[in-house]
Structure 1
Amino acid sequence: MHTAEFARLLDLIVKDYQAHMEEELAPTLTTSQLTVLELLEQQGNLKPSDLIPFLSTTPAAVTMLLDRMERGELIRRDRDENDRRNVWVSITDKGQSEVERGIAVRNAYLSGVLDRISTHNQQLLVFLLGKISGTK
């Protein structure tokens, strides 16, 4: 069984990725903030509760994250005109430029990592990761 070796390599890859992303996105963005901005860009306005499954965190932590993002002018929160209990989160122009920068940082990093192996092996790796993740 290769479980221990897989765990060691996965941990190494994840730590390297996270360290690189946090360093390159700083000081205006974190990886969690990038996730929020990408969701808003893809899906449009969302309620804070819609973000919880994508961030694997608590409602209180989402609120704190959105507070920081609003102070940084990455997002805007507006009350629903028809139901004032609902709050909608939307991306600002600054948030849009930061999500584009964040995606470029991620793509550059991942391209550098994947360039270490052949195109065929890249395809195989993506296929195998899809199998492991249960998405393919």
Structure 2
Amino acid sequence: MNEDASHWINRYMDVYLVVTRRINAQIRDSIAADITNDQYLILRLINGQELCTSTYLAESFAVGKSSITAIINRLVEAGMVERTRDENDRRQVYLSMTENGRSVYEEAEKQIQEVISPYLFDFEKKDIENFIMMFEKLGRLMQESGGKSN
């Protein structure tokens, strides 16, 4: 590995630790009464999929299905998510939000917007767009390679 790459990786890791720990803590504090960060992220993914499955969630989180099942079970018990079997293939189970789940999700979404938006005011719109585009590209590269470098 060349010296530049090592320097960039160290800088990335330093800022990654600060940003993710602080944002996650602030999000956790703002939505703590209703759901956990992981539960919020699960609801967010379910909201974005017409036919959401545990397999899709496990792949998105890069964890085993048993980890997702535990979170889904808690969301089902809390009345936020429901399971529906496919009429044509009874082995296929789809996950969807209940009205209660949608309400909790939408409130958490508002609270997260309030946590993150103040940080954006220190940047110009073009800088925010560039940052998001580069971060999305990094995400795509990671998904395409299965999370492993080439």
TM-score range for the pair, normalised by the shorter chain length: 0.7 to 0.9
For 1:119, the equivalent position in structure 2 comes to 125
Structure 2 residue aligned with 1:77: 83
In structure 2, the partner of 1:10 is 16
Tell me if 1:86 matches 2:53.
no
Q: Size of the alignment, in residue pairs?
A: 135
Structure 1, 11-20 or 113-122: larger mean CA deviation:
113-122
Q: Report how far residue 11 of structure 1 moved.
A: 1.0
Structure 1 letter corresponding to 2:38? S
Structure 1 runs (4+) greater than 6 angstroms displaced:
none
| In the alignment, structure 1 residue 48 sits paired with structure 2 residue 48 | no
CA RMSD of superposed structures (Å) = 2.1
Q: Which runs of 5+ in 2 are unaligned?
A: 142-150
Runs of at least 5 residues in structure 1 that lack an aligned partner in the other structure: none
TM-score by length of 2: 0.77
1:33 equivalent among 32, 39, 60: 39
Paired-residue identity, %: 21
Could you say if the C-alpha distance between residues 131 and 36 of structure 1 is closer, same or farther in structure 2, counting changes exceeding 3 Å? closer
State whether structure 2 residue 32 is matched by structure 1 residue 19: no
Distance 2:90 2:136 in 1: 42
Letter in 1 for 2:53: K
